[in-house]
Structure 1
Amino acid sequence: MSEAISLYELNSLIKGVLSSSLPEMVWMRAETSDVRVNQNGHCYLEFIEKDSKGRTLLAKTRGMIWANTFYMLKAYFENATKQPFTSGLKVLVQVSIEYHELYGLSLTVHDIDPGYTLGDQALNRAAILKQLEDEGVLYLNKELELAVPTNRIAVISSPTAAGYEDFQDQLKKNSQGFGFYTKLFPAIMQGERSESSIISALERIYEYMDYFDAVVIIRGGGATSDLSSFDSYLLAASCAQFPLPIITGIGHERDETVLDIVAHTRAKTPTAVAEFLIDNMVDAAEELEEIAHSIVTSASRRLQDEETRLAVFENQNNFVLKRWYREQEVILSSVNNFLFRGLQRILRDNQNKVAGYRDLLTKRMQQNTRTFSEKIDYIEEALKKNTQQIMKQELSQLEVFEKYLELSSPENILKKGYTMTIKNGQIVKTKDVLAVGDKITTVFADGEINSIVNNYEEYK
């Protein structure tokens, strides 16, 4: 077993090998990511390379541009390309390779070729925006109006993201005490599965869209290279055509994705999204307060005007009303007298008519009583005659039935020379019920004989 070396010694060995085997400067093709400038003017970034489909990272290395070099290269690059030096650019840069025992591998930029312009991300983004514009959907979501108030929010985020917690905390602790009703639709917010996951969350929200005023898509911090899923055509098209306003807070102030461009409103961070919603509620509350004040003022002014008009009307019509009341009293008195005399006359006439009707009814009732008595006597006599006749007919019919029953009785039939055969207490009506060996009884008019069947023949 060879002698072991320390980590520092190993890193020093790697540093020496790289320094001796690589040139001092090399030109390198890569894509910029997570570009940021600190307060001293130094630029820190990542260089990345993806596969041919632009989805999977193949390589990533830290890079930096010292402040004095960055100042010149940035001006040179932006003047030549007419675009800012930012993430998502495909660049050709001259770098020196440094390996530090503590900080590892890094690349220091010394020069840049502006002719090597947009990177794969920027080209892809431009193509997506052009396609959405050609299809007429790029600004559809921006044309939607925010509901007043906007406080029923569907949230697409990772449930464990710090940005989601910040968003919720900001809404709950708003100083105005506004109520917000949020529903989380969990989704994967980075990596290859984030595109399909966010679209799936949108589809679930669509099923309950009547319950929400807007959709918020938020994500915490992270490397700019993790934002590629937000430059997806399918995600951008889904959001652009979604029937509810979409507000984004992806958490990168310096990076604008395709999703940010098609969304109704773009905020820099999840907290900024919450502040936007709170400000929207403040505006709605102020507008409602102004409307309420305007209604109260208009109503008060209208009441004053009506009270003044009523007072004037009362003064102008007081004399007319009094005279009208006196005239009505005279008219009512005359009408009362007329009605009283008319009622007395009607009562006298009706009393005479009632007396005549009473005499007529008395005579009619006496006449009807006599007529009904005569009819009852006639009906009673007819009933007696009909009853007697019916009784005679029924008695005659009974005598006929009695004679018939007497002639049809078994005793009379046996006396005429007929016999009756009985088997097991039952009258034998056909030979089919008899078999050889059966005991039978033959009944005559003057007695009966028991016998056994030996044989029988059929009549032909």
Structure 2
Amino acid sequence: MVEDSPRSFSLSELLGSVRRCLDHSFPHRYWVRAEVSDFRQAGQQGHAYLELLEKGARGEVVARVRGVIWAQAYAEIQRRFVRSGVGQLASGMSILALVGISFHEQYGLSLQITDIDPSYSLGEIARLRLETIARLRKEGLYDMNKELPLPCPLQRLAIISSATAAGYGDFMRQLHDNSYGVQFYTALFTAQMQGEHTTESVIAALDRIDRHREHFDAVVIIRGGGAVSELRAFDEYRLCEVCAQYPLPIISGIGHERDESVLDLIAHTSLKTPTAVAAFLIDTQVELLAHLQEIQRRLPEILQRLSLGRGQYLQGLITRLQLAPREHLERELRRGERLQARLQIGARAYLQSTRHTLRLQMERIPSILRYRVQEMRHSLSRLASTLPLLLTHRLERESTQLGHWEQAIRLSHPDNILSRGFSIISSAGTILTSSTSVTTDMPLELRFHDGIVHATAESIQRAQQDKKSTSRGSSQPSRPVEDEHEGAK
């Protein structure tokens, strides 16, 4: 029997059920806190598409969902953002949005944004700014760039800005077309000055300047005005940390009148606009130039005064020179008399002190000698008390050594060696140590432990042969017996 197959659904039926469940469970709109990411606006339709993110304490993304703002709602939101000073809605901005939950069988889950509270975004920007200031103060970085000396003259400038920015153009025109004819040497290091990549772009420009910092007196960071949200990169800790520790003075002209960014607060010198920075640089050089001109104007008078003063000074020196040798001689004579008197007093005092010391030493000599004699007697007594024991030990060691030598001599005596089976062969009183020195007719003396035998080498050989033949003859009678047995057969 075939079992019934389980109930199945098409994908559209399942997702349609999910959509109806969500519509029934979440019928209302909800206020949601999130960060904007991947923001983009459709060209002609006017709709805006984005992602909403939530990040953890370490910056990791813990939640993500797609969002959409239809054209009519987006236009109204933008108008409110501009009126409140937040600026254009962009990636990286923290928002409080009124959303409805939507699910589509083809496009999945998304949030439809109908409203955004601009005051919440302003509050988040202010919170970020205060956190950055507090962290810079805690780490001791807040005043580091301000403590750098401003070079004089201040002419070689590294400029960080966008090449197409109106603020940069105004700055360059005012700087180079000044009515005082003051010269400046500038180099532009382009960077993105608004948007989500502003921080990385400005830090990269600072790194490029640092590789050639010996060619510059200061760094100028400028841009035109803008909304609060467009300037939030200049409140970020990463950028402010680099600027605070930068080895060159930083002059900022971010271009907003209402508030100061954190970069303005930690920079060496901060001005409101790029043109104000240009005016500051020009005024600094004009003051230096005026000071130099004043010195140039006063120089002849100063030289004349110096010349008159030197003449009077020389005349006074001539007068003093005439009197100086006599005064010096008198001073030296008086000084010699004082030294002579001090020398006599010192010599008498030293002589008395030396005599007193010698007298004390003479008084101490007998007691020192008595103490030294007692000490030597005590030492001799200790040595005398140990002398018998040392002699006894030495006598025992010498007796033991003598016994060892006596035993060795006794064991090495020829009689002992002969008693162990050895013999001494000599001829005419000469001991023979090799067989090659023996001839057949040489008279030999063989010394054994129990007597002496006289012989010749020939007689010894003969005796050995007789002994061999005798031993051979004693073994031969067995063969004739064997032959007799063979004959019997």
Give the TM-score range, shorter chain.
0.3 to 0.5
Structure with the greater alpha carbon radius of gyration: 2
